Structures are given as C-alpha cells and as structure tokens.
Amino acid sequence: MLKQTDHGGQDGRETGGSSSNPPGTTSFKERVGALKNILPFVAMIWQTGPGLTAALLVLRSTRALLPIATLYVGKLIVDDVVRLVQMPGRPDTLSQWLHGGLLNGLTILLAIEFALAISADVLGRIVALVDSLLSERVSNASSVRLMRHAATLDLEDFEDSEFQDRLERARRQTSGRMTLLGQLFSQAQDIVTVASFVAGLVFYAPWLIGLLLLALVPAFLGEAYFNAQTYSIDFFRTPERRELDYVRQTAASVDTAKEVKIFGLNNFLIERYERLAKDFYTANRRLAITRARWGGLFSAIGTLGYYVAYAYIAWRTLAGAFSVGDLTFLAGSFLRLRTLLEGLLTSFSSTAGQALYLDDLFSFYETKARILSPAHPRPFPNPIRTGFVFEDVGFIYPGAARWAVRHLHFNLKAGEVIALVGENGAGKTTLVKLLTRLYDPSEGRILLDGHDLREYDLDKLRGNIGVIFQDFVRYYLSVGDNIAVGKIAARHDAARIERAAMRSQADEVIARLPGGYQQMIGKRFRNGVELSGGEWQKVAISRAYMREAQVLILDEPTAALDARSEFEVFQRFKELSDGKTAVLISHRFSSVRMADRILVLADGKVEAAGTHDELMLQSGRYAELFELQAAGYR
C-alpha cells in the first residue's frame, strides 16, 4: 500500500521549547535563555561519572593556581638577580658565589619554579587523560539515553520528517557536544586563574582591569553574534544535511551498489552531492569571511588595550614606583590575563552557542509518546477467548488528506485464520498497525475479548503478537541472532531458534551456510555471507515463529519468493497456526484461499468477506482480481 511518510507534525505533539519565534532563530534573549541547558548538562556529566568529575575539578583547581605562582616566583628571581648585580664587591667566580652562600636564595627560587613547571606538565597530562575518559563515558551514556528515549516514542514520530530532523540534530549532539564538557571545565579552571591574576593586578593598579575589560567586550559580543549565526545555519539546514548523508550513503553502499551500477547513477548522485555540498560551503564561507574580518578588528582593539597598559607599567617602573621584578610580573600577568579573559569571553560566547545546540538534545528528550499502557492495565487473556472486534474504526495519518481506513466493522475470532486482500492503498498494513497498537484509531475502537485494546499493557499486547512486515529489517548479525530478534529475551535458547527456523523452512537455507547458525549474514561486515531475497524472507519469517505468540501476522513478507515457495510457506503457516489467531496478507490469491475467511478491503473499508468459494460466487472485486491474476498463469 502507499505509506504516508510525511505527516507534517501537525498533531499537537509535545516537543519541548516554548519560544514564540520560529525554530532556529537566535535572538539575544534566546541565546541567554539557552544557558538554562548548562545545569542539566553538568548534572548529566556528574551522574555519568561522579568520581571522574570530582577528580577533574580538584586537578583543574590545583592547576589553575600554578600560573600566578610561577609568575610571582619569576618576579622574585628577577628582583634577586637585580639585587645581586647591584651588590658592591661582587665575587668574581662561581665558586666564590657558592662558598659565600650568596646564591642560596636564588637557587631555592629556581628549584621552586622548576617544580612548578614539572607540576604543570604532569597535571596537564593527567587532566587530559581524565578529560578524555569522562568525555567518552558521557558520549556513550548520551547515546544510550537517546536510544532508550527513542524506543519509547510512537511509530507516528518516526514517520514524520520534522521529527526525523529533530532526531538527527539530537543524535549529532550526543557526540558533537563533548567539546562543551572540556570547555566548561577549562572555563572553571580559567576563572580561578583569572581571579588570582586580578588579585595581583588590583594590588598594583586596579584601573588596568577596567581597561582590559573595555578592550575585550567588543570581541565577546562579536563572538556571541557569530556563534548564533552558525547555529541558525546548522538548524535550518538539517533536512539538507540528512539528504547529503543519504546521497553519500546511496552512492557508496553494498545495499545500493547493484542498481547504482546497472542504472549508471554514479554521476547523478555525485553531482547531487556536489550541489548540496556547495550550498553548505557557500553559506559557511560567507559567514567565516565576515567573522574573520570583524574578529581581526576586535583583536586589534584588545591588543591596543594591552600595549596602553604595558606602556603605563614601563613608565611606572622608570619612575621608581615598580621594581624590575614588578615590571616582569605585571607585564606577564597583564598579558596572561588578557589572553585568559579574551579566551573566557570567547568561550562564554561559544558556551552560549553550544547551549543552543543542547536545546536540540534536551528538547528531543521532552518529546513524549501518546500510545502508552494504562496506569492499571487489565490482565492480558491467556488464552484469547473470543478474539478481536473492530467497531466503526477509522484512522487518518497526521497531515494526510484522506482517511487510510474508515468505518471498519469486522471481527477476528480466536483461533481463526483470516486473509486480507485488496489493491495497494486499500488499508491492509494500516489495519495491522492498528491491531498491534503502533497507532491508535482516530475514531471507533478495537476490542479484545470484549475490552478496548487500550486497557491492556502495551508490552504484553505486542509480546503476544508475532508479526513480520513486507519491509522487514535485514540485521547484519548472525543467522541465529537474526531469528532471535523475534524474542530477544530467548536469544540463548538454541532449541527455540532451531524450531522457529524449521517452521519457516529457513533451516534448509542455514544448512548450506558454512557457519550454520553462527554465520554472519550480509556483506557489511567481515566474513558475512549474502543471502538471496527469498532466503532473507525465510529467515525473517522465522522471527514470527520465534515469538511463539497467540496471534501471528504475515504482512506480505513473501514478495521475493516464487509462487510455489510462497504457497509452501503459507501452507505451513496454516498448519502451524492451528489453534492460534492468525492474519495473512498476500497479493497471490492462490495462497490466501487457504484462510478460514477472506476480507476484501477497498478504499479503507471492508467491501466483502467470506471464503474463497463464497467470494467467487459474488462476482465482485475479489473474483475480478482473482481472474486477472489467474489469466497471467494461463
């Protein structure tokens, strides 16, 4: 059937964020407001690795005080050297200096500075190590949290292109924001270092601090503006970025290689990629040039402020207010402070910019599912006694113009095998999605043993239904794991896996594989063996049998099988579903005629129902389609 894949996101779903501005806009208020994401991010870091986080804070705090200590010891060394140089009657040889004890103080100061330098190097390496370990743990934990949250969301979300953009942005942040982790800790370290330098400068010339800040504010505002512009480009170009990744994957993938070569699509895909990439490059180049131009101006203003201060310090030294050691200490402190403040202001601006990106991650976590289990679910019937009843069921995909199904009235009795037939777009797959609560009806209700499906626990409901869709997933895992995904909790139950394979006739396929059930299938990874389409389908059908559920559904999963193989699969399905409630969907009428009852769907409604013979006697749509198909075999 035709699937609705773009719902437009007009269903009122909770997605987080309450700004009245269009998504991706970056007003000053929004940039400041985005800083609210920093605390949850820091909390996430702490929860991921409290020991590593605490160690990092202690190490960085210690390292933060080393620069001021090193500069101050350097000042003392210079002053001591000047004193010794000016000392009357200085010794002529090193031996005389040493024997006279005149170098004792200088030697101690040099040893202290050497120890501080070694400490700085060692601490730097330890900090880098802890930083990398913590970053990796946070990245892994973020990825796991994203996957866990995505698992709670509705199928409706994943079939919405706007949600896919949101998911792509969130996925990029699980690793892309790890630079923010190091940046935040570096900022904390730099703040301690700045505080120590400020204390030293305030003691000598407080007004220099004001001059420094005045010179650096333009650079800070400029960085804040350009970071916001970068975020805007990234936000609005998410769909194009997804398309770029898709084209790149399609052009060089084992899944598409045959058609790309046969149809000669290489140049088409490469040209499409180049066009998309050029658009990205043009936008980024324009912003980068503007940013560099203004950045150069702002940097020149900061440099001017530094040299004004430097000239003042030199003059005060000549006037006798400062010693030569004071000159070196103040000049070094002012230079380091300028560099640190410039870095901090730029870093703060970058942090605000990255906090905007964190919005993509945290707003994704605020997306909530609507198809949920009730607070107090009804016990799931085991066995199912009366079956399912569709009462005036209608469903329309969000953003769609027409109803997928409407006014559905029929029942699926316990232990009955029914077949659904109809042309593409008739609503067959939608009906299965409603039965499994991948969607809830837009109107009407579905009953199970006389009670609304929504009264049962969602996991119990789905756990009692084994379903294989036409577009089943090819997992690039071992054959055993490919079957076990039908009931992953029973992955180590070899007998159950083999039983499921035998029921779907996949055991014949597996017997020909060199590694048996341990054989990796698919060519994506090393030692993988590719299967034919029909062989993949038999493995996929095994998953439904692996589940050993009360309800079995095969939704056109045999399209790659020849007519004989499909008949054998469905014949076996009929035999193995004895006593179970089962639904099968197929376009081959020779297969569906074995069902206890056949429902003919047209325009989202049940147009006719009955056995094969009864429907043929009615001379309606079923008979017409059957005759058209039969004519093809004559």
Six-digit token string for 223 = 């960085």
Where are the domains positioned within the chain? Answer: 28-365, 387-464+549-631
pLDDT of residue 11: 40
Q: How far is CA 552 from CA 541, 575, 579, in A?
A: 10, 12, 11
Q: Averaging pLDDT over each range in 271-280, 338-347, 415-424, which range is the top one? A: 415-424
pLDDT in tens, 392-443: 999 998 888 889 999 999 999 998 989 998 888 888 889 989 999 999 999 9
Residue 213 pLDDT exceeds 80: no
pLDDT level of residue 449 (50, 70, 90 thresholds): very high
pLDDT of residue 445: 95
Q: What is the rounded CA–CA span in Å between residue 75 and residue 70?
A: 9
Q: Give the pLDDT mean for 279-298.
A: 75
User: With the C-alpha atoms ordered 570, 572, 578, 581, is the resulting torsion angle positive or negative?
Assistant: negative
Selected residue with higher pLDDT from 58 and 524 = 58
Q: Give the pLDDT mean for 462-476.
A: 84
pLDDT in tens, 93-148: 778 777 777 788 888 888 998 999 999 899 989 988 988 888 888 888 888 888 88
Compute CA 554 distance to the chain's CA centroid, rounded to the nearest angstrom: 31
pLDDT of residue 380: 93
| Other beta carbons within 10 Å of 385 | 12
pLDDT level of residue 44 (50, 70, 90 thresholds): confident
- Which DSSP string do the residues of 116-177 spell out, in sequence order? HHHHHHHHHHHHHHHHHHHHHHHHHHHHHHHHHHHHHS-HHHHT-HHHHHHHHHHHHHHHHT
- One fold for both 28-365 and 387-464+549-631? no
pLDDT of residue 281: 76
Q: What is the rounded CA–CA span in Å between residue 470 and residue 41?
A: 41
Q: What is the rounded CA–CA span in Å between residue 152 and residue 72?
A: 58
| Beta-strand relationship, 451-452 and 443-448 | antiparallel
CA torsion 571-573-576-579 (nearest 10°) is: -110
Q: What is the rounded CA–CA span in Å between residue 53 and residue 41?
A: 13
Q: How far is CA 581 from CA 16, 148, 212, 466, in A?
A: 41, 32, 79, 10
**Closest by alpha carbon to 552, among 469, 465, 472, 471?**
465
pLDDT of residue 393: 94
Under CATH, to which class is 28-365 assigned? Answer: mainly alpha
Which are the contacts of 211, defined by CB distance < 8 A and separation ≥ 6? 305, 308, 309
- CATH 1.20.1090.10 for domain 387-464+549-631: no
Six-digit token string for 479 = 């054959």
pLDDT of residue 286: 76
pLDDT of residue 500: 92
Six-digit token string for 591 = 């297969």
